Homo-oligomer: A and B are copies of this chain.
Amino acid sequence: MKQNKPSAQTATIREIARRAEVSIASVSRALNGKPGISDALRDKILTISREVAYQPSAAARQLISGKAAVVGISLGRQDIELRPYYILLYQHLTVALHQQGMVPIFFHHDQTRELPERAGAAILLGETGEDERPGVLRAAGTPFVRIGNAGEGFSVAPDDVSGLYQITQHLIQQGRTRIAFVGGELDVPRPHSRFSGYQQAMAEAALSEQLLSLPHRFTSDSLTSYRRLNRFLNHEGAEQLPFDALVCATDELALGCVAALEDRDIRVPEEVAVTGFDDLPTLATGLTTVRQDIAAIAAMSVELLSEALAGKAPRHVSLPVALVLRETS
């Protein structure tokens, strides 16, 4: 009675071989996309393996390869690696990798050169434009997937542009006309595409853009936006508010803005609407924001990694996002 773990008994290749009436060698070849097997047989085996929900044993594979299926997770620049969004991503990545029998191991941005020595593949986070990591990995022959904008090689990203476009449109439909964008320029890779979604919606409605640009920061995003907005209001005077909505690049920035407005008794959303992006658990409570499915991003990264490992052609996957209307708009 002590142990009642539901044995997640996956079928083994032996079971599949039995059903397909072939040898386990053929099953192994079919499963791994190895040559030397007829297409008919391969299809048959693949179908059966799907039916029995086959999951390979990572342990057995490792035993043979002599080393674990270690996937290096390369973090972005130091200043962004501690952000809630990334933390959530790490967690989901760990789970997704584990389900495929892979083991994650973290590398700081500046440890990229060590990565190929310790891992057989990599997932790159928080890539910037002039990032040297892809070059380093390519030179070492280490397959990788980027979580970020489309570009060379495999990559996944939420549809930032569409998200910001939708949320900006939502504000416009509410009758808001003086809508400002709050974001950091250096805050790669998100701001660029997010900002352009905002721009697109504003242009279509023939409204003029306003930008509250944030400095590159090392500490709290919320504190940064709070202080920035505060300073701005001190100068411009809170009486003739130059905006009736603040579209923020992240939930954290939005929270800082909400706090700053509250502290000046400016009503949200009556006088000023505030929107975020990410829909981070706990943090985004009450916030109108754009939800991105972090678990899906993690799962897709791992799937693409398998494709990369199998030598398939690179592709970019854009994952849908959803508008979440709450109290701040």
Interface on A for B, CB 8 Å cutoff?
Answer: 2-3, 5-8, 57-60, 62-63, 66-68, 70, 78-79, 81-82, 84, 86-88, 90-91, 94-95, 98, 103-106, 116-118, 141, 218-223, 226-227, 252, 255-256, 259, 263, 280-283, 285
Contacts and interface: CB of A to CB of B under 8 A. Distances in A.
Contacts of A86: 87
Given A81-B87, A223-B226, 19 more contacts: A6-B117, A7-B67, A59-B60, A59-B63, A68-B98, A78-B281, A82-B84, A87-B90, A91-B106, A94-B94, A218-B285, A219-B255, A220-B252, A220-B255, A220-B256, A223-B223, A226-B227, A227-B259, A227-B263
Contacts of A98: 68, 70, 103-105
A117 B283 contact: no
Contacts of A281: 78
A271 to B, nearest CB: 20
Given A78-B281, A117-B5, A103 B103 contact: yes
Which 9 interchain pairs have the tightest Cβ spacing?
A: A59-B62, A220-B222, A82-B84, A220-B220, A223-B223, A222-B223, A59-B63, A87-B87, A59-B59
A134 to B, nearest CB: 17
A255 B220 CA distance: 9
Contacts of A63: 57, 59-60, 63
B222 A219 contact: yes
A70 B63 CA distance: 17
B283 A82 contact: yes
Contacts of A227: 226, 259, 263
A227 B264 CA distance: 12
Nearest to A4: B117
B218 A220 contact: no
